[in-house]
């Protein structure tokens, strides 16, 4: 499987009469972009906003972050099963607008059922904790319908998810005839059999029917999903998609679509392929609630890894609590099968860093990369020049911390409320030290 990846680096974002790129600036026709988002009867409307790095803008909640991408030519599909046709992903030519992102938020939600914290400041003290403060963001603001939200949230989440992916494809598609800044081809070429084979085990959270989490080719990775193998090129082409539903309360360690599209782990494994390792590919593994379901999924992960000839595995989880049992079960089964493991995880160490970081641990887990303690406190300015999203969700974020800093114009939040601050797939810069 061969994927040619073209990139256009975005250095600015402006409204214009048509959508195109010129000298690194992405110009967007707002009317066309709104039409690209789609029309939906169960919401009160959609608006679009621009947020650039360094601007005094706050967005709450950030429910999705997607890098604009599209296919060029007739091979493959972008986000197959979601907005693209059910075709093979990971082949042909893909265009990405690097440095740009489509963000999704919601407003008009009086009861704050869209209670995912996900506070994003484009400047100030917490901006450095997320890569999304460094991207040129086109924000979809979904005006929710209170009558719909009072009965259920899933259909509103579905609107947000579809609108985000549709707009991401539209933006890139309008620029597919522009000259790319770089081009790279990804393929798992044949390499020496003497090199140790390594798999990437990607855990997918899809436990709550009220949360739209991970989909694989458009199918929810829920209780009936069986762990399976996917080529890393398929990941780059959006075969695995994610979205933070209304009932998601943590954003720092969630695998936003932007992180999956720019997976540092997959990129590094590609770099090492043929040099020090043989990159075998990705195993996607669903996290379910039942013990039997976890045991079944872990058995499949072990069997697939062995069938591929793996000698090593890098594992990432999604969420905490019972998902910690999934990753530890995988570690134990893989290690006992002779496959060395390394996990990447953030920690729930408490505000003093002294609480157990994970809900479970096994002796076989002897190698871990920490991506930070999500319970640490950060001081945030109370006011910004521009607020986009839901003010009531902001009140929930503030209510979770029962003390204030000495400075009157600041308030405390936990790192867990900053999107991608403790990203378990490796896109963040935080870690933790032993005390």
In order of 148, 154, 158, the CA distances from 151 in angstroms are 6, 10, 15
Say whether 248 is catalytic. Answer: yes
Angle at 49 between CA 413 and CA 25, to 5 degrees: 110
Distance of CA 219 to the CA centre of its chain: 17
The length of the chain is 435
Q: Which entry of 114, 248, 365, 422 is annotated as an active-site residue? A: 248
Label residues 215-225 b or e (16+ Cβ within 10 Å = b): bbbeebbbeeb
C-beta of residue 391 within 8 angstroms of C-beta of residue 112: no
Give the C-alpha separation, 310 to 327, whole Å: 17
**Region at 124 (left for phi over 0; alpha for psi -120 to 50; beta for the rest):** left
Give the C-alpha separation, 185 to 177, whole Å: 19
Place of tokens 């197959």: 80
Using DSSP's 3-state secondary structure scheme, residue 111 falls into: coil
DSSP string, 203-252: EEE---TTS---EETTEE-STT---EEE-HHHHHTTSEE----TT----T
- What are the structure tokens assigned to 84, written together? 């693209």
Q: Hey, which residues are catalytic here?
A: 248
């Amino acid at each position: 499987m061969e994927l040619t990846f073209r990139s256009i680096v975005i250095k600015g974002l402006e409204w214009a009469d048509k959508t195109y790129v010129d000298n690194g600036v992405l110009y967007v026709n707002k009317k066309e972009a709104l039409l690209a988002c789609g029309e939906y009867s169960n919401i009160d409307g959609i608006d679009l906003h621009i947020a650039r790095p360094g601007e005094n803008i706050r967005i709450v909640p950030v429910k999705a972050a997607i890098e604009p991408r599209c296919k060029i030519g007739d091979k493959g599909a972008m986000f197959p099963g979601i907005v693209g046709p059910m075709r093979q992903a990971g082949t042909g030519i893909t265009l990405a607008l690097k440095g740009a992102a489509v963000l999704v938020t919601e407003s008009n939600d009086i009861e704050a059922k869209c209670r995912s914290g996900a506070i994003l400041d484009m400047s100030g003290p917490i901006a450095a904790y997320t890569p999304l403060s460094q991207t040129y963001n086109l924000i979809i603001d979904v005006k929710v319908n209170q009558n719909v939200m009072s009965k259920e949230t899933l259909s509103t989440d579905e609107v947000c998810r579809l609108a985000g992916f549709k707009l991401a494809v539209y933006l890139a598609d309008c620029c597919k005839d522009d000259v790319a800044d770089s081009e790279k081809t990804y393929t798992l070429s044949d390499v020496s059999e003497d090199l140790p084979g390594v798999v990437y085990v990607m855990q997918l959270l899809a436990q709550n029917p009220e949360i739209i989490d991970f989909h694989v080719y458009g199918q929810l990775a829920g209780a009936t999903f069986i762990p399976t193998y996917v080529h890393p090129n398929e990941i780059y082409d959006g075969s695995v998609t994610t979205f933070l539903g209304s009932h998601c309360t943590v954003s720092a360690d969630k695998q936003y679509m932007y992180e999956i599209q720019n997976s540092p782990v997959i990129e590094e494994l590609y770099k090492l392929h043929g040099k020090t390792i043989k990159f075998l590919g990705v195993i996607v593994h669903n996290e379910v609630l039942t013990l039997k379901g976890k045991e079944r999924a872990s058995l499949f992960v072990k069997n697939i890894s062995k069938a591929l000839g793996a000698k090593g595995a890098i594992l990432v989880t999604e969420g905490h609590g019972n998902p910690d049992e999934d990753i530890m079960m995988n570690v134990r089964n893989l290690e006992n099968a002779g496959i060395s493991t390394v996990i990447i995880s953030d920690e729930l160490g408490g505000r003093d860093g002294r609480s157990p970081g994970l809900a479970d641990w096994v002796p076989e887990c002897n190698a871990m990369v920490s991506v930070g303690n999500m319970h640490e406190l950060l001081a945030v300015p109370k006011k910004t020049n521009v607020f986009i999203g839901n003010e009531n969700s902001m009140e929930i974020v503030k209510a979770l911390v029962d003390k204030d800093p000495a400075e009157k114009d600041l308030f405390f939040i936990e790192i867990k409320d900053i999107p991608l601050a403790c990203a378990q797939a490796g896109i963040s810069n935080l870690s933790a030290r032993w005390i």
